[in-house]
């Protein structure tokens, strides 16, 4: 990988809805020189590669190939979206079991081929549990095995809060921490708009909204995936852009703060579980998960989120 990212290569493992949307976003982004598509359904990977490469005349030069996991031999980043979604009425534990079984096959094979400095990004759900499975199975440094975590949820939070306040989401700094799922925590205490904390920004705002608006925004962030899946069966566009943002931070060694899921090493007293905190992301993956001053109720909820994830890990025998 060069300093500015020229020549960077990425392998996408699983090219269903999320994998193909992400490949499209990355192709259009001009970050990479090669995108390799791998799927248990080899014909599907070939078809996706053909469909994408036919757009070459309209984007910066990039090679797109389909093949098997030996393509990881020249990878800087590997994204795993292989696996399936939760079925109605199914528990997260059932989904974890099936997708963890897929990881038992994939991760050793990725390790066999990929250079030790390559970064693995897990997207498959439940993403925190699967990131933990990958980190345990992989021989690479745990900082190089990360999950997309709440990167998407933080983006939803920024969008909804920005919309509510009439401010561009790019001027809203807001993080969702903990599990990517039902126990996630909107970190209101860290939120700022245009450099001002909410308790400074809100009194100067003519909207005069009440505290209940916060509860509604947090609920809408938490339930966004359910709402989309109920309407169209899956989510893939926004997560594809979130993944492109993470890949960019890695390839360009940006030290960007993103809420990726990473193995906890004592932050807020949490250990041996993967979850999201604002984290410095650079060429080495999740360089450092930040222990920022959350409020006491937020810390309490974060600890509950960690406990829920640990329960699933225990039930999986991890
Ligand atoms: P999909 O069914 O469209 O695609 C999954 C792909 O994985 C399929 O093409 C399938 O052939 C492939 N696959 C299965 N086993 C494989 C194996 N052993 N090796 C290689 N490929 C294999 O599903 P999707 O909508 O793309 O979702 C994929 C995963 O991403 C799901 O678990 C979903 O819940 C998750 N997801 C996560 C987020 C997030 O924010 N973390 C957001 C959206 C979806």
What pLDDT, on a 0 to 100 scale, did the predictor assign at position 72?
98
Neighbours of 136 (CB within 10 A): 17
Cα angle for residues 274, 173, 260 (degrees, 5° grid): 20
Q: Per CATH, which fold does 3-147 belong to?
A: Rossmann fold (3.40.50)
* pLDDT of 209: 81
Residues with CB under 6 A from ligand 1: 13-19, 38-41, 44, 81-85, 102, 105-106, 123-125, 127, 148, 152, 180, 234-236, 239
Query: Mean pLDDT for each 10-residue chunk of the chain (318 residues)?
Result: 65 98 96 97 98 97 98 97 84 87 97 98 97 97 98 98 94 97 96 93 83 90 93 95 98 98 98 98 97 97 97 93
How confident is the model at residue 211, as a pLDDT? 72
From ligand 1's centre to the CA of 207, what distance in Å? 42
Q: Where are the domains of the chain?
A: 3-147, 151-315
Please tell me the predicted confidence (pLDDT) of residue 6: 54
DSSP secondary structure string, 247-277?
HHHHHTT--EEE--EEEEESGGG-EEEEEE-
> Of 54, 164, 173, 180, which one is the catalytic site residue?
180
Query: Residue 92: what pLDDT?
Result: 77
Decide if domain 151-315 falls under CATH 3.40.140.10. Answer: no
Task: Check if 173 is active-site.
Answer: no
pTM: 0.96
């Amino acid at each position: 990988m060069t300093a500015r990212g020229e020549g960077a290569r990425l392998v996408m493992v699983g090219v269903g809805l999320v994998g193909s949307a992400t490949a499209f976003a990355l192709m259009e982004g001009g970050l990479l020189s090669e995108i390799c598509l791998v799927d248990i359904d080899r014909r599907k990977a070939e078809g996706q590669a053909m469909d994408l490469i036919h757009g070459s005349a309209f984007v910066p030069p990039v090679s797109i190939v389909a093949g098997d996991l030996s393509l990881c031999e020249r990878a800087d980043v590997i994204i795993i979206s292989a696996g399936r979604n939760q079925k109605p009425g199914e528990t997260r534990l059932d989904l974890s079991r099936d997708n963890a079984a897929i990881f038992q096959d994939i991760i050793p094979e990725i390790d066999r081929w990929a250079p030790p400095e390559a970064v693995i990004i897990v997207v498959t759900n439940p993403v925190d549990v699967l990131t933990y499975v990958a980190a345990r199975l992989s021989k690479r440094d745990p900082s190089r095995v990360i999950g997309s975590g709440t990167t998407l949820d933080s983006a939803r939070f920024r969008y909804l809060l920005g919309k509510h306040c009439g401010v561009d989401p790019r001027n809203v700094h807001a993080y969702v921490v903990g599990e990517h799922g039902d126990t996630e925590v909107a970190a209101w205490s860290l939120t700022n708009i245009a450099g001002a904390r909410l308790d400074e920004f809100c009194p100067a705002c003519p909207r005069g909204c009440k505290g209940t608006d916060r509860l509604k925004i947090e609920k809408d962030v938490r339930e966004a995936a359910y709402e989309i899946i109920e309407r169209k069966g899956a989510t893939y566009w926004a997560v594809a852009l979130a993944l492109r943002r993470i890949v960019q931070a890695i390839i360009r060694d940006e030290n960007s703060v993103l809420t990726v899921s990473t193995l906890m090493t004592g932050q807020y007293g949490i250990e041996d579980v993967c979850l999201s905190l604002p984290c410095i992301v650079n060429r080495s993956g999740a360089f450092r998960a930040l222990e920022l001053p959350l409020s006491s109720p937020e810390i309490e909820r974060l600890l509950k989120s960690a406990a829920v994830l640990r329960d699933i890990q225990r039930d999986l025998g991890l």
